[in-house]
Amino acid sequence: LTAGSIDVEAAGTQGEDRACQPLELHLPLTRASIEAARQAVLAHLAPATLPAPVTYNLELILEEVLMNLVMHAHEDPTGHEVHLAVHQRDDEVDLRFEDDGRPFDPTASEPSPTAGTLEDARIGGLGLPLLRRRARRLHYKRCGGRNVFTVTVGLVPREAKP
Amino acid sequence: MEIELIEDTEGVTHVRLAGRLDATGADQIGIRLTAVVVARGQSALMDLSGVSFVASLGIRLLISCAKGLKVKGATMVVYGARPEVQEVFDDAALDQILPIAGTHAQALERLQG
């Protein structure tokens, strides 16, 4: 990982304890950061030996949130960063995204209605609805001119949603 | 992310995608997929059995191809999605937008039906 810093504990810590330490990443707002974040987060949570559907969920949520920030947080994201903190406790993990982009509350916007037909389908607008379905909880606050968005993801295969 | 043109016969383009259809994958294959599928202007079957991951940008690419073909009076059917990929399609209600089939034979049926 060339972009940003990863805060890992001192060598010698047992694997089980390792995932209890928060992981902190400072990533430039670029598409390349999505892959960097994916690898760092999965490596961090590796001691928890997550079931494949949970890994998929985490990857999907990371991609949707980061892609949304890269595309919409700034007119030009060059030089801007997102701060990602990953904190695991019990059977869930918090992914906390902090950015200095325009105010955006992902918990406030209404889910877009399903298109119904190919003619009506919009190209886009799929990320947030997916995020809502895949996350256990979403929390947003605007704090000191920054968006702080926390997505809580279950570490057991997700409960069926209607 | 890879695209393979399996065959191009009887007015049907048949392609296979393999890899991660995430933002990076969609970027990698977007232009080529459009060139292979949409530019031919005939109905298409898309084998997704080699796709291990899909996110919204990947779905966006599929919708964009299907729309491109629709304008030309052709249909695109995707098939063979792995369960974890199918789950994302279900969450996005993709089946309301484009035909999704289980097998190649079922996909062909959807095209002919």
What distance in Å separates residue A62's CA from the closest CA in chain B? 10
DSSP codes, chain A: --SS-B--PPTT--HHHHTTSPEEEEEESSTHHHHHHHHHHHHHHGGG---HHHHHHHHHHHHHHHHHHHHHT-SS-TT-EEEEEEEEETTEEEEEEEE-SS---TTTSPPPPP--STTT--SS--HHHHHHHH-SEEEEEEETTEEEEEEEEESSSPPP--
Q: How does pLDDT run across A41-63, given as a tens digit for each residue? A: 999 999 888 999 999 999 999 99
Encoding tokens for residue B87? 């789950």
Minimal CA separation from B106 to chain A, in Å: 20
> Cβ–Cβ contacts within 10 Å for residue A17, how many?
10
What is the pLDDT, as a whole number, of residue A47? Answer: 87
- Kindly tell me the number of DSSP H helices and DSSP E strands found in chain B: 4, 5
Per-residue pLDDT at A132 exceeds 80: yes
Predicted confidence (pLDDT) at residue A122 exceeds the cutoff of 90: no
pLDDT digits (tens, 9 = 90+) for B61-111: 999 999 999 999 999 999 999 999 999 999 999 999 999 999 999 999 999
For chain B, the average pLDDT equals: 94
Over residues A79-102, the pLDDT tens digits come to 999 999 999 988 999 999 999 999
Out of A31, A114, A130, whose CB is closest to B88?
Answer: A130
Structure-block tokens of residue A66: 């980061």
Beta bridge partners of A87: A94
Predicted pLDDT of residue A121: 67
Encoded amino acid at B26, one letter: A
Residue A3: pLDDT band with limits 50, 70, 90? very low
ipTM confidence score: 0.91
**Residue A112: pLDDT over 80:** no
What's the confidence (pLDDT) of residue A1?
41
Nearest by CB to A63, from B23, B64, B67: name it. Answer: B23
Q: Of the given ranges (A2-11, A119-128, B11-20), which has the lowest mean pLDDT?
A: A2-11
CB–CB contacts below 8 A, A to B: 69
Q: Which of A34, A121, A130 sits opposite B67 (nearest CB)?
A: A121
CB B100 within 8 A of CB B89: yes
- Cα dihedral across residues A124, A128, A129, A135: positive or negative: positive
From the CA of A78, how many Å to the nearest CA of chain B? 18
Is A126's CB within 8 Å of B66's CB? no
Query: What distance in Å separates the CA atoms of residue A103 and residue A45, rounded to the nearest whole number?
Result: 30
- What per-residue confidence (pLDDT) applies to A5? 43
A144-159 pLDDT, tens digit each: 999 999 999 999 886 5
Q: What is the pLDDT of residues A5-14, one digit of tens each?
A: 444 443 334 4
Bridge partners (DSSP) listed for residue B12: B9, B43
Average pLDDT over residues A6-26: 60
